[in-house]
C-alpha cells in the first residue's frame, strides 16, 4: 500500500462547504469551526517570519531568482493578556480555501500573536505539511506540543502549497505542474523533496540566528520578547504529514542537527530509503485493512539503525493526521463522504490519541523522558496499535 503523497486540490480548495444561499428572511449564520484546545500547562504564543534564501531560485518559476517562504513559530508563552489569538490561516489564504459566502468560518487558533516567550531553553520541533497543503494543516498537534513546552516551527513550502500569503497581503498560489506520466510524477516529487529539505535546513540556520539575538525576517518585524536564547538547538526534532513525513526522513539523512523524526502516514523516498538513519525515527500510519504494506516503509525500516518505532492508528484514514479530521465533520459534510479520507475514527479522539503518542516520542528522545507509551499496548488508548 502506497501512502498518498498528494492531497487532491478539491480537498483544500473550497474546502468546507457550499456558499450560503441567499434567503428572503434571515440568511443562515455560518458555522464557526473550532480546534481542540491544547492540553499542556503552558499558554501558547506565535509569530510568523518571512524568509528569503538568496542562494537558490524558486522551484517551477524560472523568473524568480531567490527562494522565499514563510515559517511560523509556536512557543510556550508567559502572559498572553493583550495579545490577540492568531487565525488558523491568513486572510489572503482564507479567501482561497474558504471563499466569501461560505457556509462556515475558519477557526481561530489558541496561539497569541507576539506574546512573550516563557523563560528557559526549550526543545525545538520542525513541522512540514503534506503536498499542496499549507503550514496550518496540523495546528491542533503543533499547539499541543508548544503547550507542553516545545518550540515548534511550521514551514510553508511556497509554489507547492495551495497558497502562501506574505506580509503586505501578497498571495502566491501553487506553481507545481500537473504530471501526466509516471516519470513526470517521479521528477516532480524529487524536485519537491529537494526544495523542502533545503527549506528545512535554511530554517534551522535562521533559528540559530534568532537564538543569538538576530532577526531573519525580511522586514525585520519585531520578534517576541524572550525568544532569544529560548531555543535549545542541541535538542531538535522534526515531524511531518504525508509528503512532510518523507521530508522529515530525508532532512534527517542530510542534516545531523535533527536528532529525532516522526512520519505521519507518508511514503518515503530519496537517499534515506536505502541509506537509513542512526537516530530515533517513528512511523505512524493509518489503518492498513490488510493491504500490502507500504514498500517504502519496509525498505526504510530495514535500514533504521537507531531506535525505531512503528504504530498504526486504528480506524484512521490518510487525512486523519491533520486538522481536517476535526474541521471537515463540523462543516456538515456527510460522514459517508468523508470516510475515504478520514476513516471511521472520531476526529477529536484521533487528535487526543495522536497528541499523547507524539509527545511521548519527543519526550523520550528530546527530553530524556521515559516515553512509556511507545513500549507496549495501552488500555487508555486502544486505538493505537504497536506494530514494531
- Grid cell, residue 135, equals 503550514
Q: Which pLDDT band holds residue 29 (cuts at 50, 70, 90)? A: confident
Rounded percentage of the chain residues whose pLDDT exceeds 70: 93
Range ranked top by mean pLDDT from 22-26, 113-117, 329-333, 366-370: 113-117
Beta-strand ranges (E) seen in the chain are: 31-32, 43-53, 67-77, 85-87, 104-105, 108-113, 122-128, 151-156, 163-165, 171-173, 231-241, 260-264, 281-286, 308-313, 384-386
pLDDT band for position 260 (50/70/90)? very high
Calculate mean pLDDT across residues 229-236. Answer: 97
**% the chain with pLDDT above 90:** 86
- The average pLDDT across 207-227 equals 97
State pLDDT tens for residues 144-174: 999 999 999 999 999 999 999 999 999 999 9
User: Has residue 77 got a pLDDT over 60?
Assistant: yes
Q: Is residue 29 part of a domain?
A: no
pLDDT at 290: 67
Q: Is residue 3 part of a domain?
A: no
Q: Collect all residues with Cβ–Cβ distance below 8 Å to 350 and sequence separation of at least 6.
A: 313, 315, 316, 320, 325, 383
The CA-to-CA distance between both ends of the chain, in Å, stands at 18
Residue 141 contacts residue 55 (beta carbons within 8 Å) = no
Strand order in the sheet with 122-128: 85-87, 108-113, 43-53, 67-77, 151-156, 122-128, 231-241, 260-264, 281-286, 308-313, 384-386
- Asked if the model's pLDDT at residue 302 lies above 60, the reply is yes
Q: Which of 9-13, 286-290, 296-300, 330-334 has the lowest mean pLDDT?
A: 9-13
Residue 262 is assigned to a structural domain of this protein? yes
Predicted confidence (pLDDT) per residue in 368-388, tens digit: 888 899 999 999 999 999 998
The reported pLDDT for the residue numbered 102 is 86
More confident of the two residues 23 and 377:
377
Range 288-294 contact pairs with CB under 8 angstroms and sequence separation of 24 or more:
288/1, 288/312, 291/1, 292/1, 293/1, 294/1, 294/2, 294/3, 294/267
pLDDT tier at 3, thresholds 50, 70, 90: low
Question: What is the reported pLDDT for 27?
Answer: 63
Residue 147 lies in a domain: yes
Q: Does 21 fall in a domain?
A: no
Mean pLDDT value across residues 58-67: 93
- Confidence band, pLDDT 50/70/90 cuts, at residue 335: confident
Per this entry, what is the length of the chain?
388
Q: Which residue has the cell 507576539?
A: 114
What confidence score (pLDDT) does residue 288 get? Answer: 79
- Interatomic CA distance for residues 47 and 141, integer angstroms: 17
CA gap 236, 162 in Å, rounded: 28
The residues with which 134 forms a beta bridge, in sequence order, are none
CATH number of domain containing 190: 3.40.50.1820
pLDDT at 19: 39
Q: Residue 151 has what pLDDT?
A: 98
Q: Which domain holds residue 217?
A: 9-13+39-386
Alpha-carbon span 303 to 306, nearest angstrom = 9
The yes-or-no verdict on residue 17 having pLDDT over 50 is no
Task: Centre a 10 Å sphere on the Cβ of residue 362 and count the other Cβ atoms it contains.
Answer: 27
Q: Which pLDDT band, with edges at 50, 70 and 90, does 18 fall under?
A: very low
Q: What is the mean pLDDT of residues 325-329?
A: 95
Compute the mean pLDDT over every residue in the chain, rounded to the nearest whole number.
92
In a domain, 28, yes or no: no
Number of domains in the chain: 1
Domain-located, residue 64: yes
Of 70-79, 258-267, 295-304, 366-375, the poorest mean pLDDT is in: 366-375
Looking at residue 315, the DSSP 8-state letter turns out to be T
Confidence (pLDDT) at 303:
97
CA-wise closest residue to 217 among 115, 90, 71, 92: 71
Residue 103 in any domain: the answer is yes
pLDDT over threshold 50, residue 13: no
The C-alpha cell that represents 78 in the structure block = 508567559
What value does the mean pLDDT take over residues 358-367? 97
Average pLDDT estimate for 61-81: 96
Amino acid at each position: 500500500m502506497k501512502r498518498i503523497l498528494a492531497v487532491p486540490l478539491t480537498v483544500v480548495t473550497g474546502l468546507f462547504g457550499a456558499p450560503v444561499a441567499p434567503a428572503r428572511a434571515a440568511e443562515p449564520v455560518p458555522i464557526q469551526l473550532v480546534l481542540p484546545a491544547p492540553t499542556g500547562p503552558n499558554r501558547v504564543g506565535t509569530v510568523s517570519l518571512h524568509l528569503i534564501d538568496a542562494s537558490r531560485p524558486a522551484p517551477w518559476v524560472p523568473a524568480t531568482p531567490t527562494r522565499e517562504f514563510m515559517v511560523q513559530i509556536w512557543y510556550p508563552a508567559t502572559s498572553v493578556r493583550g495579545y490577540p489569538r492568531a487565525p488558523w490561516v491568513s486572510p489572503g489564504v482564507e479567501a482561497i480555501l474558504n471563499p466569501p459566502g461560505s457556509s462556515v468560518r475558519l477557526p481561530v487558533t489558541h496561539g497569541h500573536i507576539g506574546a512573550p516567550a516563557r523563560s528557559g531553553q526549550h526543545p525545538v520541533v520542525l513541522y512540514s505539511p503534506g503536498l499542496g497543503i499549507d503550514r496550518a494543516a496540523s495546528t491542533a498537534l503543533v499547539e499541543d506540543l508548544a503547550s507542553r513546552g516545545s518550540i515548534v516551527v511550521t514551514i510553508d513550502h511556497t509554489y507547492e502549497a495551495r497558497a502562501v500569503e506574505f506580509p503586505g497581503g501578497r498571495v502566491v498560489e501553487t506553481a507545481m505542474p500537473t504530471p501526466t506520466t509516471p516519470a513526470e510524477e517521479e521528477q516532480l516529487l524529487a524536485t519537491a523533496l529537494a526544495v523542502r529539505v533545503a527549506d528545512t535546513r535554511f530554517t534551522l540556520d535562521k533559528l540559530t540566528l534568532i537564538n543569538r539575538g538576530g532577526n531573519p525576517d525580511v522586514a525585520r518585524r519585531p520578534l517576541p520578547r524572550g525568544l532569544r536564547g529560548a531555543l535549545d538547538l542541541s535538542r531538535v526534532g522534526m515531524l511531518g504529514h504525508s509528503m512532510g513525513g518523507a521530508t522529515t526522513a530525508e532532512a534527517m539523512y542530510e542534516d545531523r542537527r535533527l536528532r529525532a523524526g516522526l512520519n505521519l502516514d507518508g511514503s518515503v523516498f530519496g537517499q534515506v530509503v536505502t541509506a537509513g538513519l542512526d537516530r530515533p525515527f517513528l512511523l505512524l500510519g493509518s489503518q492498513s485493512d490488510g493491504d500490502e504494506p507500504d514498500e517504502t516503509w519496509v525498505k526504510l525500516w530495514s535500514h533504521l539503525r537507531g531506535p525505531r518505532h512503528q504504530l498504526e492508528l486504528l480506524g484512521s484514514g490518510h487525512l486523519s493526521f491533520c486538522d481536517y479530521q476535526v474541521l471537515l465533520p463540523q462543516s456538515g459534510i456527510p460522514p459517508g463522504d468523508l470516510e475515504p479520507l478520514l476513516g471511521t475514527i472520531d476526529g477529536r479522539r484521533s487528535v487526543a490519541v495522536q497528541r499523547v503518542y507524539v509527545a511521548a516520542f519527543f519526550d523520550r528522545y528530546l527530553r530524556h523522558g521515559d516515553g512509556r507509551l511507545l513500549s507496549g499496548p495501552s488500555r487508555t488508548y486502544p486505538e493505537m496499535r504497536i506494530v514494531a
